[in-house]
Amino acid sequence: MTGPRYTPLATSLPADVPFVGPEVQERDLGFAFRARLGANENPFGPSPHAVAALRRAADEVWKYSEATNHDLRHALATKMEAEPDQVIVGGGIDGLLGTLVRLTVAEGDAVVTSDGAYPTFNYHVNGFGGVLHKVPYRDDLEDLPALLAKAAETNAKLVYLSNPDNPMGTWHDAATIEAALDRIPNGTLLVLDEAYVEFAPAGTAPRIDPEDPRVMRFRTFSKAYGMAGARVGYGVGARSLVKSFDKVRDHFGMTRPSQEAALAAIGDDAWLGEVQEKVAAAKDRIDDIARANGLTPLPSAANFVTVDCGADGDFARAVLRALIARGVFVRMPFRPPQDRCIRFGAGLPEELDVLAAELPAALEEARAAAPA
């Protein structure tokens, strides 16, 4: 008796996921975290209107979702100054990135990203056999000129840029991105991930014609809208590209409750404003905690603060382990020199109280274990 016959590509890939979630770590550790600061979630939650929509839709969960996402696409088109046929909705930015890679990347095709940038994009590229070409960060910022130069050098199908950036929280202003559009090589698509743009300063989001064939931009309801568990992301791009998603996407991949909740959330600008204020206050608190412990917080346009621990990656990893052992769930950048940092999410006041109480001891433990 034999099992499935995997493709050579599938056989070559590791059977893992890009992130080890807090629930997995809690099971391994045998206790629950007291401060959940590592997943870039929005603990202030979704709009009350979105919650009410979820509850109403629960009674109709026996129905399939509306496969074209008609109402949500029309509302998002108004928000993005686009037309409905320039908007695609899917299971978070992660799911949409996977569909885009499936559409555009064949085995051996070149794709460009930053070394240490959001790893789920790399996961999809690897899964379809693309070849990743990575460009280092420059001053903790994704190096847009170098990314485009590498794309030209490698004849890349896609070049990925998150703005604001994850994991560093740094950002390019709109003028910088707009000025770079004409440097996108022929045949290359700029994948502009704007998951955190609602937290960014005014003037961060560029003005790009949705029909511009050189760019596809992605946004989400997971961050500012507080709906990470609902898995709602959307993309804006040229009509021909958006229509091509219908060739391969999971047409019933959205849930009906998620569709209804996202539609309700879009209309609640007052709640979005409250969340933005709470996130800003939490980031200020993290800045204060970091500085009080002799650490350096980096400027952030996201819903987290990346903090320079002042040494190398080994020291930062020791601090991270010590915090986790004390019930504080955090993460850190994966690649040097950014791995000298730890990333703290904009948590609830009581979670930041835990961080303030536990960080001094975690630093003391890491320093005591550091080589002389």
Domain(s) labelled CATH 3.90.1150.10 in the chain stretch across: 8-45+270-367
Q: From CA 257, how far away is CA 53, in angstroms rounded?
A: 7
Distance of alpha carbon 346 from alpha carbon 42, whole angstroms: 7
CATH pick for 63-268 out of 3.20.20.70, 3.40.50.1980, 3.20.20.140, 3.40.640.10: 3.40.640.10
Q: What is the pTM of this model?
A: 0.96
pLDDT at res. 40: 96
Separation of alpha carbons 54 and 263, rounded Å = 10
Backbone angles phi, psi at 189, to 5 degrees: -105, 125
Q: Return residue ranges of the chain for CATH 3.40.640.10.
A: 63-268
Q: Determine the CATH number of domain 8-45+270-367.
A: 3.90.1150.10
Cis peptide upstream of residue 164 (ω within 30 degrees of 0): yes
Q: What pLDDT score was predicted for residue 1?
A: 78
Residues paired with residue 161 on neighbouring β-strands, in sequence order: 192
One digit per residue, the tens of pLDDT, for the chain of length 372 reads 788 999 999 999 998 877 888 999 999 999 999 999 999 999 999 999 999 999 999 999 999 999 999 999 999 999 999 999 999 999 999 999 999 999 999 999 999 999 999 999 999 999 999 999 999 999 999 999 999 999 999 999 999 999 999 999 999 999 999 999 999 999 999 999 999 999 999 999 999 999 999 999 999 999 999 999 999 999 999 999 999 999 999 999 999 999 999 999 999 999 999 999 999 999 999 999 999 999 999 999 999 999 999 999 999 999 999 999 999 999 999 999 999 999 999 999 999 999 999 999 999 999 998 886
Structure confidence at residue 155 (pLDDT) = 98
d(CA 351, CA 319): 17
Query: What are phi and psi for residue 300, nearest 5 degrees?
Result: -135, 135
Residues in contact with 107: Cβ distance below 8 Å, sequence separation at least 6, in sequence order: 9, 128, 129, 130
Residue 140, Ramachandran bin (φ over 0: left; ψ between -120 and 50: alpha; else beta): left
Kindly report, residue by residue over 104-119, the tens digit of the pLDDT.
999 999 999 999 999 9
pLDDT of res. 371: 81
Q: Which of 312, 279, 285 is nearest to 297 (CA)?
A: 285
Beta strands in the chain (DSSP E): 35-36, 87-90, 110-114, 131-135, 158-162, 189-193, 215-220, 233-236, 296-297, 304-308, 328-329, 341-345
Torsion over CA: 206, 208, 42, 332 (sign): negative
Residue that the structure tokens 């433990």 belong to: 365
Contacts of 270 (CB under 8 A, 6+ apart): none
Q: Are 235 and 221 in contact (CB under 8 A)?
A: no
Backbone angles phi and psi of 248, in degrees to 5: -135, -10
How confident is the model at residue 369, as a pLDDT? 86
pLDDT at residue 168, as a whole number: 98
For residues 267-286, one letter each, b for 16 or more C-beta atoms within 10 angstroms of the residue's C-beta and e for the rest, the string is ebeebbeebeebbeebbebb
